[in-house]
């Protein structure tokens, strides 16, 4: 009997040990959990991109935690300790903040897309049928036109919108002073400055405003959800470039980089395009049904984000900051 018990116990121990080994093996596939921290607008796109990545050999077993919010808020949160393996923000300065905080490598943009994962353009979302016939930037400063845009203190989208407004004025031949006067007139017609582009969209589809300054992809998202809006690409608009980076604090750089590579791959860019984002490769825009704007300006043409942030959005001396203060808009973060 004792010999029989010993054999039974030995068999049980062997089975448990084998299960433990098998468990460790499967755990190596499922142990990778990536924290994605992003700005507010691409949440719907990631609901398709993440499962598509998980269906690949590189993404098998990888799980995700996800956080979405105003780009500036998200960037500051990561700088202050919020765990992140991959960060995607509205614009480059929110990545730069993490470089300065030691959370992202200085060479984050040294790749084929210069660190950019998607493109878009600034558009005017309008009521169905465009009842106020809003087509150009001049239409936005007419008396009685109610404009919605987010607050540039925290929203990267708002900064894109206002740089577009400033840049198109310069492109039309205005002096810098005249371009700022245009921005002041525009902001004078803005009735609500929400914290993020997504909140501004919600304000607009909720019935407030005649026109919303927004990303093209946000307008397309609203239409896909059945919202009763149209959108207009103005004759001169700004190229929006959304950056992505793997953090230097990630504990699984291989999987994090594999995820970012997938987002930039042909398969990933197709999903982005279906969600309303323009592929990084401008040669494919028409292939995905995106029209070429009449005049497309870039941040680089206007001096780059370092110059523009200081000139327009510095918390003490920025020209837009001063305009908002004059208009009684809060500049609190």
Q: Helix/strand/coil (H, E, C) string of 68-108?
A: EECHHHHHHHHHCCCCCCEEECCCHHHHHHHHHCCCECCCC
* 333 — pLDDT class (breaks 50, 70, 90): low
Note the pLDDT of residue 243. Answer: 98
Note the pLDDT of residue 330. Answer: 75
> Is residue 289 pLDDT above 80, yes or no?
yes
On average, the pLDDT of the chain sits at: 90
In a domain, 86, yes or no: yes
Note the pLDDT of residue 247. Answer: 98
Do 140 and 219 fall into the same domain?
yes
Total domains present in the chain: 2
Do 314 and 282 fall into the same domain?
no
Using CA atoms, how far apart are residues 285 and 240, in angstroms rounded to an integer? 14
- Angle of the 197-205 helix axis to the 216-224 helix axis, nearest 10: 50
Note the pLDDT of residue 31. Answer: 66
Express each pLDDT in 39-63 by its tens digit: 988 999 999 999 999 999 999 999 9
Note the pLDDT of residue 267. Answer: 97
* 301 — pLDDT class (breaks 50, 70, 90): very high
Neighbours of 285 (CB within 10 A): 17
Do 192 and 311 fall into the same domain?
yes
In a domain, 297, yes or no: yes
Backbone phi, psi, residue 171, to 5°: -65, -30
- Angle of the 176-188 helix axis to the 319-326 helix axis, nearest 10: 40
In a domain, 11, yes or no: no
CATH of the domain at 176: 3.40.190.10
Residue 132 half-sphere exposure, CB side, CA atoms within 13 Å? 23
Report the percent of the chain where pLDDT is more than 70.
90
Do 300 and 170 fall into the same domain?
yes
Express each pLDDT in 188-235 by its tens digit: 999 999 988 889 999 999 999 999 999 999 999 999 999 999 999 999
Do 264 and 320 fall into the same domain?
no
Do 40 and 178 fall into the same domain?
no
In a domain, 228, yes or no: yes
> Is residue 20 pLDDT above 50, yes or no?
no
Do 44 and 134 fall into the same domain?
no
In a domain, 17, yes or no: no
pTM of the predicted protein model: 0.86
Helix-then-strand count for the chain, H and E: 13, 10
In a domain, 1, yes or no: no
For residue 51, how far is the Cα from the chain centroid?
19
> Is residue 17 pLDDT above 80, yes or no?
no
In a domain, 303, yes or no: yes
* 5 — pLDDT class (breaks 50, 70, 90): very low
Q: Which domain holds residue 312?
A: 120-240+291-326
């Amino acid at each position: 009997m004792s010999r029989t018990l010993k054999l039974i116990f030995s068999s049980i121990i062997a089975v448990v040990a084998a299960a433990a080994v098998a468990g460790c093996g499967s755990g190596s596939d499922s142990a990778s959990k990536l924290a994605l921290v992003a700005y507010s607008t691409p949440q719907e796109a990631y609901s398709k991109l993440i499962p598509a990545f998980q269906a690949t050999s590189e993404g098998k077993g990888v799980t995700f935690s996800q956080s979405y919010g105003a780009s500036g808020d998200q960037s500051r949160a990561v700088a202050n300790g919020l765990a992140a393996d991959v960060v995607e923000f509205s614009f480059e300065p929110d990545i730069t903040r993490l470089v300065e905080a030691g959370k992202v490598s200085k060479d984050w943009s040294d790749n084929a897309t210069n660190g950019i994962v998607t493109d878009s353009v600034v558009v005017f979302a309008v009521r169905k049928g465009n009842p106020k016939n809003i087509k150009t930037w001049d239409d936005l400063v007419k008396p009685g036109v109610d404009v919605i845009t987010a607050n540039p203190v925290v929203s990267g989208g708002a900064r894109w919108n206002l740089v577009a407004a400033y840049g198109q004025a310069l492109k039309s031949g205005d002096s810098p002073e005249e371009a700022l006067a245009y921005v002041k007139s525009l902001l004078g017609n803005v009735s609500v400055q929400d914290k993020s582009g997504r909140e501004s969209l919600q304000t607009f589809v909720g019935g407030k405003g005649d026109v919303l300054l927004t990303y093209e992809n946000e307008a397309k998202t609203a239409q896909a959800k059945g919202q009763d809006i149209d959108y207009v690409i103005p004759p001169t608009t700004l190229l929006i470039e959304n950056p992505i980076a793997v953090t230097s604090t990630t504990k699984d750089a291989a999987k994090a980089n594999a995820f970012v590579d997938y987002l930039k791959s042909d398969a990933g860019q197709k999903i982005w395009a279906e969600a309303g984002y323009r592929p990084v490769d401008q040669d494919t825009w028409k292939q995905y049904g995106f029209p070429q704007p009449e005049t497309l300006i870039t941040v680089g043409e206007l001096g780059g984000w370092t110059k523009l942030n200081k000139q327009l959005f510095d918390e003490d001396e920025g020209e837009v900051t001063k305009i908002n203060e004059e208009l009684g808009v809060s500049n609190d973060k």
